[in-house]
A = this chain, B = another copy of it.
Amino acid sequence: MTVTPAAASSTRTFTRMRLFTPGPVEIPARVLRALSQIPPHHRTEVFRATFQRVTNAMRELHRTEGEVFLLAASGTGAMEAAVTNLMSPGEKALAVVGGKFGERWKKLLEAYGVPHDAVDAEWGKAVDPALVEAALARDPSITTVFATHSETSTGAIHDVQAFAKITRAHGKRLVIDAITSLGVHPIPQDEWGIDVIVCGSQKGLMAPPGVASVSLAPWAAAAIERGLPRFYFDLRKARKSAPLGESAFTPAVSLVLALEEALTMIHEEGLDAAHARHRRLAHAMRAGGKAAGYSLFSSSPSHAVTAFVPPAGIDGGTVVKRLRDVHGMVVAGGQDHLKGKIFRVGHMGAYDLSDIVAMVSALEEIASVNGRPSAGAVDVARAAWDAA
């Protein structure tokens, strides 16, 4: 069960694998240590207090005076909870689709038979808020808009503040998947007017996967009272248990302990400082990658994940494989029709400039051995960090 590279090689340069995946991400040692402590039973005062601290720390991260519900599930479970708790029979939704995770909203709505329209953008581009405006103007029967903040499949960030202005003006509900953006990009829920935000533990929050959250703005409290058939993800049950420091069903106790430690780390750094650090990481990654001959896939790049197109003549899969086998770095390839065309570098969580420097240098080496040499990309990355 030790973590070994998938393929050993005489050219390998590393002693351990480093995750630059778009989630789950590297888990800080402090969080691993919290994970391995002897877990208290969940129906004890000590755990109830922990559960309440974690809930409150999540409210703080969301900048909301509303409720945050923690679920034992991965992020898609929280997305499902948003659909089944908010949409009642006869209601119509709008899905904002700019990639695989926007499509997931659409697939969830389809699975539950919720009538819906969709607005799209070419993958890599952000969906224009004007399309949301037009869709709501066209069909006033739409009650709820489902969108993605940072679209992990393309590395694009959406202007969810603009989405919220539109939904507020139309008196509609807005649900945002912030699974890869929370802790990375500012998304002050109450200030921006976002009714519901869903998140997962394994991205910007630096904890292992298995805890998901649904954050409900104070003005949206009644929105979960009707809904579709549901049980495990019934937020009315979660609401009933929350004041006791409990969840409706057995929580993922060890993961909640780990999440608490991760949230403490974010609190110690300061949320604004964490946002600023991610901005600098992203700028350094983009500038360094470009200087090494790679181009940005997204015209609206996220600070959580950078999607690169390799230099001409180099396949995305070649980069992914050599990063893994020679450099010990795990990144993600493109999904669906982007397979082989792009690769995606995650830098959300406890990453710093040295991590980016290492990645940029590896990318430069890979371009070079594939006939596309460059020089100085690391210095460019460092300068971009300084300037950002």
- Where the two chains meet, the residues of A that have a C-beta atom closer than 8 Å to any C-beta of B are 1-4, 6, 16-17, 19, 21, 23-24, 27, 32-46, 50, 72-77, 80, 107-108, 111-113, 200, 202, 208-210, 228-234, 249-255, 257-258, 260-261, 330, 332
User: A1 touching B260 by the CB < 8 A rule?
Assistant: yes
Closest chain-B Cβ to A103's Cβ sits at a distance in Å of 13
User: A229 touching B113 by the CB < 8 A rule?
Assistant: yes
Closest chain-B Cβ to A346's Cβ sits at a distance in Å of 10
User: A332 touching B43 by the CB < 8 A rule?
Assistant: yes
User: B253 touching A24 by the CB < 8 A rule?
Assistant: yes
Contact with A34, one of B1, B34, B208 (Cβ below 8 angstroms): B1
User: A234 touching B111 by the CB < 8 A rule?
Assistant: yes
A-B contact pairs, 21 of them (CB 8 A): A1-B50, A1-B261, A6-B45, A17-B40, A21-B41, A24-B42, A27-B39, A36-B36, A43-B332, A72-B73, A72-B77, A75-B250, A111-B234, A112-B229, A113-B229, A200-B250, A208-B254, A209-B254, A228-B229, A254-B254, A254-B255
Kindly state the separation between the CA atoms of A36 and B33 in the bound complex, as whole angstroms: 6
Contact with A112, one of B19, B74, B231 (Cβ below 8 angstroms): B231
Q: Which residues of B contact A6 (CB under 8 A)?
A: 44-46
User: B251 touching A1 by the CB < 8 A rule?
Assistant: no
User: A209 touching B24 by the CB < 8 A rule?
Assistant: no
Kindly state the separation between the CA atoms of A260 and B1 in the bound complex, as whole angstroms: 9
User: A74 touching B249 by the CB < 8 A rule?
Assistant: yes
Closest residue on chain B to residue A255 by CB atoms: B210
Q: Which residues of B contact A50 (CB under 8 A)?
A: 1
Q: Which residues of B contact A23 (CB under 8 A)?
A: 250
Contact with A232, one of B1, B73, B200, B210 (Cβ below 8 angstroms): B73
Closest chain-B Cβ to A8's Cβ sits at a distance in Å of 12
Kindly state the separation between the CA atoms of A234 and B112 in the bound complex, as whole angstroms: 12
Kindly state the separation between the CA atoms of A32 and B38 in the bound complex, as whole angstroms: 7
Kindly state the separation between the CA atoms of A345 and B99 in the bound complex, as whole angstroms: 50
Query: A73, A251, A330: which has the most chain B beta carbons within 10 Å?
Result: A73
Closest residue on chain B to residue A250 by CB atoms: B74
User: B24 touching A208 by the CB < 8 A rule?
Assistant: no
Kindly state the separation between the CA atoms of A34 and B111 in the bound complex, as whole angstroms: 37
Q: Which residues of B contact A228 (CB under 8 A)?
A: 229
Kindly state the separation between the CA atoms of A38 and B107 in the bound complex, as whole angstroms: 33
Q: Which residues of B contact A202 (CB under 8 A)?
A: 250
Q: Which residues of B contact A76 (CB under 8 A)?
A: 231-232, 249-250
User: B231 touching A111 by the CB < 8 A rule?
Assistant: yes
Closest residue on chain B to residue A77 by CB atoms: B232
Kindly state the separation between the CA atoms of A371 and B342 in the bound complex, as whole angstroms: 75
Kindly state the separation between the CA atoms of A228 and B75 in the bound complex, as whole angstroms: 21
Closest chain-B Cβ to A384's Cβ sits at a distance in Å of 27
User: A230 touching B111 by the CB < 8 A rule?
Assistant: yes
Kindly state the separation between the CA atoms of A376 and B255 in the bound complex, as whole angstroms: 42
Q: Which residues of B contact A45 (CB under 8 A)?
A: 6
Closest residue on chain B to residue A26 by CB atoms: B38
Kindly state the separation between the CA atoms of A38 and B253 in the bound complex, as whole angstroms: 18
Q: Which residues of B contact A254 (CB under 8 A)?
A: 27, 35, 208-210, 254-255, 258
Closest residue on chain B to residue A76 by CB atoms: B249
Closest chain-B Cβ to A119's Cβ sits at a distance in Å of 21
Kindly state the separation between the CA atoms of A112 and B50 in the bound complex, as whole angstroms: 33
Q: Which residues of B contact A112 (CB under 8 A)?
A: 229, 231
Kindly state the separation between the CA atoms of A27 and B108 in the bound complex, as whole angstroms: 36
